[in-house]
Structure 1
Amino acid sequence: MNTRKLAVALAISSVLGTNLAQQAVAQQDDSTQENKDFEQIIVTGTPAGAAVRKVDASFAVTNLSAEAMKKLAPKSTADLFKAVPGVWAESSGGVSGANVFVRGFPGTGDAPFLTVQMEGAPLFQPPTLSFLENSTLFRIDETVSFMEALRGGPNPVISNGQPGLTTNFLLKEGGDYTEGTFKYTTSDYDLQRVDAVISGALADDLYYMVGGYVSSSPGIRDAGFNSEKGHQFTINITKVLDNGKMNFYSRVTDDHGVWYLPTPLVEGVDNNYTQMGTLTRQGSIQYGPDGTEQAFDFGEGRGWDGSVSGGKIQLEFGDGWQFTDRFNYTKGDADTLGLVPQGAPTMLANVADNGTSAMGAVTGDTYAGDTLVQQIGRWVVRKQIESFTNDLALAKQFDALKWTVGLYTSNFSANDWWSIGNQSYHVVAPGGENLTGIDCNDNADSCSWNYDINSTGDGSTRAFYTAFEYAVSQDLTLDLGLRRENHSIDYTVDEGLDGVITKAVQYDEDTTSWTAGANYMLTDNSGVFFRVNDGNKMPYFDDFRDNFGSYSNGDDLIFDVQQYELGYKRAGDNYSVYATAYFNEVESSNVTQPGAPATLFVNEAQGIELDANYTFDMGLNLNLNATVQDTEIKESGNPAEVGNEAQRQPGWQLRFTPSYDIALAGGNYLNIYGTLTTMDDRWSDNGNTVVLDGYTKIDLGAYWEASENLNVRLSVDNLTDKDGLTEGDPRNPAAPNGRYIMPRSVKLSIGYNF
């Protein structure tokens, strides 16, 4: 049997123990650097989650081990996605609420083309609702074994039909021996965090893994109080059967942090600035027709307080039959409270009642007329979500043909209460306080706008999908996937909090998606693939609210996504090269701020993704991750935007990550690593009126294995304290506001493995 056939056979036989196989691969890769790149196994993007060699896959997928994730030292889940070619992740908003862009797909905020899975099941069917994207619902800790990221490819057919990016996090599983990790982490911004995980056997063929963390800090941008707090607990029980495996998990999370927003781009304001502080964290808003007043703690920021519980069953039967069922139940609160800038800063004398000064609402201090002030909105969003998802698949191997048929179902709901707006002038200073003696501040109706809603929505997705894979020869494989989906939404909105329903939706539509691919292996460990797909961006609750006029006129609000991919892959004992060229045409819509009318448009994008890795015998490893793309707005409800580039996505970006192992006495080692990130200029808006300058960022780290059990890790993020911008002012592009990347920070972790 040749090398490729043997590897494929091992991959297929390991489908019932995928995580154990992945962990073994990760162990080799992380500690001895002896892992052969061509033996890397992936399970995301394949029908029924079947395990295949990465080099055999006919689509673009990135996989990261637990150690690779630690080297990236992500500040949030979305920050990890910077390691995925073709993805632009703006994780500058804090621990939650990232903006994630994929391959030039249109977007203004959140992550409409991102789905996050755990153990192969989506955490929440809608990829994005206003103030909620999927990465908010997931926290990385020591219980995570692997992350895989699939962009394009068969995405429109499998799972929830996401045509863009699907990331899948795989949990660690127990084995025959008891083992675990205890880790303490601190930082130069007074982070206090403890992680722990333990795994082992409960009985013959019955295994457990439990773990989690407790964390607290004032935040990388010091708010003067513990503005980032959280804890998480995860349990995963695995049962190995004679003909398969099943596992059941539950993860409970309560984690939130200050919502970092664009700040005024003026002298004295840098990437350490935050408007949140002890003088501003508590405040009152007025809402509803009667101007009801209520106080809130805006230090709550953004986060997730909820749980995800589910499981996976994988069984093999005679004559080549395989059965897979992946399911989960998600429920919790994903609230957002923050201080949002409105317009440009100005001198206090321009807005003060007496034209010369005003007083601090908290301190009583007098501020002179030359004090810089800015309107800041107190925004409150309460969001309760719930969903149950089940993905069942049956596969059959007929000699050269493999056939998979599946049924995907999801019921989901979201109940929202908002009061956004509530502007008043604040001093432009870290934690700068609200003022009195300004008519706009003392009489809310004089210059503040509010958009207040109370909404409730229920939805369901039912999809039948099938996939065929045919081995024409030992080298050539063809595949075809089809998906027929029914999508229904029931949604009502009370705009104004006066008990009057202003928008009501009863929606029920069907759509079809498909994908077709060809994979040709040039050698055992190299090949090319071609893929085309046609998918859809389905409408969810906010799409109806923002596009209600279009819906009332009979539009189905289903946006088409067409993609073409041509890929080359090659992997050897100590190197791998994956290159993918893509072209897509995507329909979508956007709003400048909630409550504003939506603009419909079509983007085209073409580009090349590169992911290359080389390991030298001396212990040096080099990784290169690069994307070059060209985007164009082909159609738009605003004719002035036609022909422009897509907003907030660089024409090129590159990440170079070297690491070097130094052998120490006693068989231990020191690993030194770093990442150089550099990217092109971007446009802040689709009108291409404001440029966001490109920047270069350097991260460094070191991992010392002091003994068989004890280890130390030091990570430095943004070594040169670069003031890069990820966005301008999305509500008013002309306003001189922008959101900085995180300032320099240093983390130190001490771990004990047993």
Structure 2
Amino acid sequence: MVAPAQAQPQREALFDIPAQSLATALDSFARQAGVQILYPYRLAAPRHCAGVRGRMTARAALDRLLRNSGLAVARMSDRVVILRAAPARSTRPIPKPQARPKPAMPPEPLPPPEELVVTGRAAGTPLRDTALSYAVTPIDADTLARAGPRSTADLFRQIPGFWVESTGGEASNNVRSRGIPTDGYSSVALLEDGLPVQYDGGLGYLNTDQVFRADSTIDRVEAVRGGPSAVFMPNAPGGSVNFLTRSGLHRPGTTLSATLGSFGYQRIDGFAGAALAPHLGLSVGGFYRRDDGLRDPGYPADRGGQLRGAIEYDDGGVRLAFNVKHLDDRVILYLPVPLQAGADGAIRAIPGFDPLFDTLAGPQAVHVPMKTAAGTTDFDLSEGTHSRVTFYTFTARLALGQGLALESKARLRTGSTLRNGLFPIGRPMSGAAYLDGVRTQLVSAFPGTAATQIRYTGSSMPFLPDSNGNGLVVSANLLSVRMPMTEFVSDTRLTQRLDALGSHEAAVGLSYDHMRLGFDREMGSVLLDVRGRAQRLDVVALDGTGQLLGALTDNGFLRYGSLFDHVDLRASDVAIYGADEWKLSSRWRLDLGARWERTRIGGGVEGAVAVDLGDPATLADDAVLTGTGAITPIHRSFSGVSWTAGANFNPTPRSGMFARVSRIARLPSATEFNGNPNRADEAAVPIAMIEAGLLLRHRRWNLSAVAFRTHFTRLPFADYRFDPASYSYVERTSIADTTTRGLELDGHAELVGPVHLDVQATLQDPRYRNFRYVDLVDGAPVTFDVTGNHLIRVPKLAVRATPSLVLFGGDLRLASEIVHYSERFADIANTQRLPPFSLLNLHVDAQLSERLKLVVRITNLTNTLGLTEGNPRGGSFNADGRGSGYFFARPEFGRALRATIIVRP
């Protein structure tokens, strides 16, 4: 049965549709009305229609086009229009006894609902997903509410081809796409309403997700995997994820939700939008959240929120929108935890430390005096990653007539991010072994030393083998980075719709970005015992009578000023791009696009020198790094050309096939020059990508399959390893290639009765090519060839299966989510294996009434110990394996429950 047409809001728009084939006219109507239209092509193509010009409602324009066409509206909403064959009109013919009336021809079956996509395209009008020449994963508002992700990165777990490490907390996570071997958001662009949240998403210590939070002002998400992303957006060879905000004009209403969960989790979200006039809308929304942390550090781990206000004008011909968003939020950064491996290779918890729920961070790292050459500063770990950032966004679209339109988007960002973290280094070891390693140093510094001892800071209490349940100690860095940043980014494009050998939607655009970033980094190295909420330790030298002679440490610090940076960076980027969506026929489409981009990087890096603060009672202040006052300037410029070509074929209205080839130039990031302003190994990195896909839609199921190959050439790999002996970082770089072949699957099926199944899977083979590096073995340089090894931390197989029961007409959904990842490696030499693991999550989604919904989520129900990464501070080239001893890695979080009540008054 076909649903009746729904009443539409009487919002007027400017239409300019010439007399032509009805099929072509309907396509033009869809573009100008901003909707998707589905209709029986075989009935519309041979018919001709009169033109429609002038300002009117979408329904009035459509009625004029369909006059005497034999088609009628079956369903119409603000996003989708579905047409069918019009029922035959009743007549009163002269009866003929010998003739039987022919039954009326039934209407052509309606195609199943399809997703409308605007991201990754030259034109801004929606297009059904089966007509695309690239892969896209849409996530609607209901799915967002049901998923309830703990972080932005956690949401990306639903996207095939994406490998996500969301174990860092609500921010500072890693996202990789299709085996691209770069961390953070350096290969995936995070967008809001089609404009980058941060032009370079992979800035050092400043990932995009540190300044972005999803809340109830987000309407839906469109994730483009590969495809044309790198033509329309910067730093997006792996794809782009577009968060589209809710409009107070087009989607007015009120939404309020409250969430309670394990570990003191409390959050409230709200949105209110209203049409103040027929063409004017206003909205406001945001969130506030507080919790003790999935690994409780003994102080509030996350606290803060976000507020957005927006105003919008849209009369169909002119659209203007302006919104202001302010984020003031602190989130903890979870880092690797200590573990042990048995002789059988099995990973186990260390006695006294629960890797699922414990963290080394604790109250003893809050408000710690840290000595510097400029005086004592206050290190406060409870600040975590604290972003105070304001975004001002303006968008405009002007219809110029004859299919021509001008679109412009601009965003100004101001504010600062402070990032305080506790980074473990080296490996856990027994207190006795640690004293053996430093005894010579203490005897040399303090003659007369008869004994050495480890004590708890601030007391004479000795650290003993049973003090913390394991007798282990570990070194860690207390790191503080302050990054004030101002950025202006804009994108302006001219779009043209025309008919020539089919129909075209072409665009030419100019994007510009100017960024200024400060980077001030200080660090001190401390000694801790291994326990949840670790305690600081001091190492002292004693004479024969037990009197204190001196100390290796001071207030727990092994070395003050073990790292210092003062950098002022500027980057200006300009890009010119063009694209054409060429509809050759009702079944064939061809997409072409190219982008030229140039970046200019400037600024300066202050030199550093080690100074002795002069305290004879400790060695901790003997080599404190501080600035020299001498600035080394940075003057670099890079440019590159990217292009892409894709084709789409629709064998039937319910299926689509595509193929695409892309050649992308990835430009260096400004923060690559933070520590070395004179580095000469940076250059544009060529990336070659090939992909082909199939999308099938049925009334009860759909399936997407995409095969891809990605090849990086001359990519710099940095090994940034902390040396526990000198308490300093050692850096080296090697240039190599990578190749990844893979297959992405995404499907949904309504099986038997209320049983549904959703599956996302990625099978890939990511490998290093032409990769050699030099290491010292017994003091002699040895060349190691790791060509053919697996890319670090990327699994060959990632599967997410969600069987569910949909009951009471969809009012109740019970789902279990099974996630599996195959083995991975923490280093390029593939010496440190990260075992495969599986997670079980449970979801309950209940529509309690027309206005009230309950969502309950339980994650990691079985408390699985799954490792997502090793310890990058231990070396990314070769982590020296894991053996049967102690090591660091960052695991998935333990079992947690959250319940959300959503109210729509």
TM-score, normalised via structure 2 length:
0.77
Q: Which residue in the other structure is 2:771 paired with?
A: 636
Does residue 309 (structure 1) correspond to residue 309 (structure 2)? The answer is no
Deviations 1:116-169 (A, max 9, x none): 111100011112111111122211111111111112111121122521221110
| Counterparts in 2 of 1:681 and 1:471: CA distance versus 1, 3 Å | same
Contact preservation (8 Å) 1:673, 1:701: yes
1:478 to 580, 583, 590: 590
Q: CA deviation at 1:363?
A: 6.4
Contact preservation (8 Å) 1:340, 1:379: yes
2:537 to 417, 428, 435: 435
Deviations 1:633-652 (A, max 9, x none): 11235252222111000001
Q: Which residue in the other structure is 2:495 paired with?
A: 395
Contact preservation (8 Å) 2:639, 2:684: no
Q: Which residue in the other structure is 2:366 paired with?
A: 281
Q: Which residue in the other structure is 1:589 paired with?
A: 716
Q: CA deviation at 1:244?
A: 4.1
Contact preservation (8 Å) 2:577, 2:596: yes
Deviations 1:148-207 (A, max 9, x none): 111211112112252122111011112478621222211121112111111111222111
Amino acid at match of 2:487: S
| Counterparts in 2 of 1:166 and 1:608: CA distance versus 1, 3 Å | same
Q: Which residue in the other structure is 2:567 paired with?
A: 455
Q: Which residue in the other structure is 1:15 paired with?
A: 34
The worse-fitting range, judged by mean Cα deviation, of 593-602 and 75-84 is 593-602
Q: CA deviation at 1:706?
A: 1.7
Does residue 719 (structure 1) correspond to residue 861 (structure 2)? The answer is yes
1:621 to 756, 760, 764: 756
Larger Rg: 2
Q: Which residue in the other structure is 2:64 paired with?
A: none
How far apart in 1 are the matches of 2:184 and 2:730? 16
Does residue 751 (structure 1) correspond to residue 902 (structure 2)? The answer is yes
How far apart in 2 are the matches of 1:328 and 1:139? 17
1:366 to 448, 462, 474: 462
Contact preservation (8 Å) 1:533, 1:562: yes
Q: Which residue in the other structure is 1:674 paired with?
A: 816
Q: CA deviation at 1:708?
A: 1.8
How far apart in 1 are the matches of 2:77 and 2:427? 52
Q: CA deviation at 1:256?
A: 1.9
Q: Which residue in the other structure is 1:252 paired with?
A: 326
Q: Which residue in the other structure is 2:798 paired with?
A: 653
How far apart in 1 are the matches of 2:125 and 2:207? 27
| Counterparts in 2 of 1:137 and 1:6: CA distance versus 1, 3 Å | farther
- Structure with the bigger RCO (C-alpha within 8 Å, sep 6+) is 1
1:141 to 193, 215, 230: 215
Secondary structure at 1:69's aligned position in 2? helix
How far apart in 2 are the matches of 1:505 and 1:177? 48
Deviations 1:676-720 (A, max 9, x none): 110110011111111001110111111222222222221111111
- Unaligned 5+ segments in structure 1 are 29-34
How far apart in 2 are the matches of 1:58 and 1:64? 19
Q: CA deviation at 1:512?
A: 1.1
Q: For 1:684-699, what aligned pairs fall within 5 Å after superposition? A: 684-699=826-841
Q: CA deviation at 1:335?
A: 2.0
How far apart in 2 are the matches of 1:350 and 1:564? 53
Q: Which residue in the other structure is 1:188 paired with?
A: 262
Secondary structure at 2:790's aligned position in 1? coil
Q: CA deviation at 1:234?
A: 1.2
How far apart in 1 are the matches of 2:802 and 2:76? 22
Secondary structure at 1:350's aligned position in 2? helix
Contact preservation (8 Å) 2:216, 2:285: yes
Secondary structure at 2:719's aligned position in 1? coil
1:423 to 516, 519, 525: 525
Contact preservation (8 Å) 1:182, 1:752: yes
Secondary structure at 1:156's aligned position in 2? helix
How far apart in 2 are the matches of 1:175 and 1:707? 26
| Counterparts in 2 of 1:12 and 1:573: CA distance versus 1, 3 Å | farther
Q: CA deviation at 1:365?
A: 4.2
Contact preservation (8 Å) 1:286, 1:292: yes
- Unaligned 5+ segments in structure 2 are 1-19, 38-57, 59-74, 83-109, 341-349, 440-449, 541-550, 609-625, 721-728, 774-783
| Counterparts in 2 of 1:180 and 1:283: CA distance versus 1, 3 Å | same
Secondary structure at 2:154's aligned position in 1? helix
| Counterparts in 2 of 1:171 and 1:389: CA distance versus 1, 3 Å | same
Contact preservation (8 Å) 1:3, 1:524: no
How far apart in 2 are the matches of 1:621 and 1:226? 39
Does residue 464 (structure 1) correspond to residue 576 (structure 2)? The answer is yes
Q: Which residue in the other structure is 1:173 paired with?
A: 247
Secondary structure at 2:660's aligned position in 1? strand
Deviations 1:615-663 (A, max 9, x none): 3584443211000000111123525222211100000101012332221
Secondary structure at 2:568's aligned position in 1? strand
How far apart in 1 are the matches of 2:23 and 2:833? 49
Q: Which residue in the other structure is 2:401 paired with?
A: 318
How far apart in 2 are the matches of 1:22 and 1:229? 43
Q: Which residue in the other structure is 1:32 paired with?
A: none
Q: Which residue in the other structure is 1:214 paired with?
A: 288
Q: Which residue in the other structure is 2:482 paired with?
A: 382
The worse-fitting range, judged by mean Cα deviation, of 173-182 and 245-254 is 173-182
Q: CA deviation at 1:549?
A: 5.3
Amino acid at match of 1:296: F
Q: Which residue in the other structure is 1:31 paired with?
A: none
How far apart in 1 are the matches of 2:268 and 2:835? 38
Contact preservation (8 Å) 1:342, 1:423: no
Q: Which residue in the other structure is 1:498 paired with?
A: 627
Q: CA RMSD in A?
A: 2.9
Deviations 1:310-353 (A, max 9, x none): 13222323211122112211222222111111101111223357
| Counterparts in 2 of 1:436 and 1:275: CA distance versus 1, 3 Å | same
How far apart in 2 are the matches of 1:557 and 1:514? 18
Amino acid at match of 2:895: R
Does residue 261 (structure 1) correspond to residue 344 (structure 2)? The answer is no
Secondary structure at 1:221's aligned position in 2? coil
Q: CA deviation at 1:100?
A: 1.1
How far apart in 2 are the matches of 1:324 and 1:655? 39
Amino acid at match of 2:588: L
Contact preservation (8 Å) 1:467, 1:479: yes
How many residues are paired up?
A: 736
